[in-house]
Each structure stands twice: as structure tokens, then as C-alpha cells.
Amino acid sequence: MDYYSKQISDLIASLSMLPGIGEKTAQRLAFHILSMPIDQVEKLSGSIISARKNVRYCKVCATLTDQDICPICSNPKRDHSTIMVVEDTRDLAAYEKTGEYHGVYHVLHGAISPMQGIGPDDIKLKELMTRLSSEQVNEVIIATNASLEGETTAMYISRLIKPTGIKVSRIASGVPVGGDLEYIDEVTLLRALEGRKEL
């Protein structure tokens, strides 16, 4: 039995298609949208449509941008000889928030996952290799996630790049701040031990 009119039900159904949004959250969002002033709703819907129409891949690093070349790649103050490889644009944003990395990026838009049918040709690896052959690059930092897929992708990229003579490094991973050692898995503890630094 439908509790709501068709338009409300359609709005709830549309919102619940978004990742992480269940039926109850979709209902809350729908009723919040219905209580907003019409100009705010128009601005929200306009922003969604505009972003979907205008956002595309950067021609250099493949991050999402509304320009042909993103602001990071077009910045002459960045170190273009160092490329950090990340899985998605959110990872790029996380590193940018640290304010400590001054190189450029390459966004793969995924990771190799045979279980999900995602192979090397399904992510932006060809674009990375083309870029390495045409630019003067001294180091590639692989910053994929510390998951099985991320590790598989890191190893694959490393094997592709090492024959070119370009330095390949992997971000360290280990014990999170505030983490209790007894609750941390063995692989993370081993990586933390291997990545130790002298004090």
C-alpha cells in the first residue's frame, strides 16, 4: 500500500538509488526537499544537472574537473616530475588537504579486481603509461588503498613501471593514530614494522 502520492514516492525512490541512502534516509531527504523554498530546490537541481553535464576527465591526470586540464595539472608551481597514483578523485582530495604533497596526480578510477571482473584495461592504466613515456617523470608514488584490490593494483603498476627506470614507491601504511595494537590485523602491523623510521 502506498502511503504517499506518486510524486513523493517517485522522489523517495530516486533518492534511494544514491549509494548509502536507504529508504528512511530517502524519506527524510524527500520531505526536507519538499519543505525547502522553491529557489533553493531549483538551485540544487540546477547544480546536479550542471555538474553531470560539464564535469569530465582531466586530459592529463584523469581526475574529475570542469576544465580540459585540472587546476593541479595546470599549476606551474607543482612538481610535475613526481606523480602520485590514486584510485579516485576523493583520494586526491584527501592528500591535497594535508598541504604537504606538491607533486601531481594520476587518477585510476578504480582498482584491479578479478572477482568483480575489473582488469587493467578497465581503469586508467594505459593513460598513465602514455603519460610516463611523454613526460619527464622521476618518481611514481603508488597510493592505492591498503585492500586486496589496492595491493594487486600497486604490484601490477610497479611491474609495468620498473623496466622504464622510473623510481616507484608505495605509501607506507600502519597503525592509525589512537589505534590499539591488539585490534589491528597482522598485515597492517607488518607494514607498520617495515615502514618504521628512526627517532
For the segment 100-137, what is each residue's pLDDT rounded down to a tens digit?
899 999 999 999 998 999 999 999 999 999 999 888 99
* Torsion angle of the four alpha carbons 165, 194, 95, 68, in this order, in degrees rounded to the nearest 10: 20
The residue type found at 140 is V
Sign of CA dihedral 65, 66, 72, 76: positive
Tell me the pLDDT of the chain averaged across its residues: 89
Separate counts of helices (H) and strands (E) for the chain: 7, 6
Please report the pLDDT score of residue 198 as a whole number.
Answer: 63
> What is the average pLDDT across 69-98?
94
Q: How far is CA 42 from the centre of its chain?
A: 29
Please report the pLDDT score of residue 73 as a whole number.
Answer: 96
CB-based contacts of 25, cutoff 8 Å, min separation 6? 15, 16
Q: What is the CATH number of domain 6-54?
A: 1.10.8.420
Contact 54, 66 (CB under 8 A): yes
Please report the pLDDT score of residue 181 as a whole number.
Answer: 62
Please report the pLDDT score of residue 99 as a whole number.
Answer: 86
Strand partners, 142: 85, 170
Q: Which H helix or E strand runs over 81?
A: strand 79-86
| Domain ranges for the chain | 6-54, 76-194
Which CATH class name applies to 76-194?
alpha beta
For the segment 43-73, what is each residue's pLDDT rounded down to a tens digit?
999 999 999 999 999 999 999 999 999 999 9
Please report the pLDDT score of residue 1 as a whole number.
Answer: 42
Whole-number Å distance between alpha carbons of 32 and 56: 30
By DSSP bridging, strand 167-170 and strand 103-107 are unpaired
Report the predicted TM-score, pTM, of the whole model to 2 decimal places: 0.82
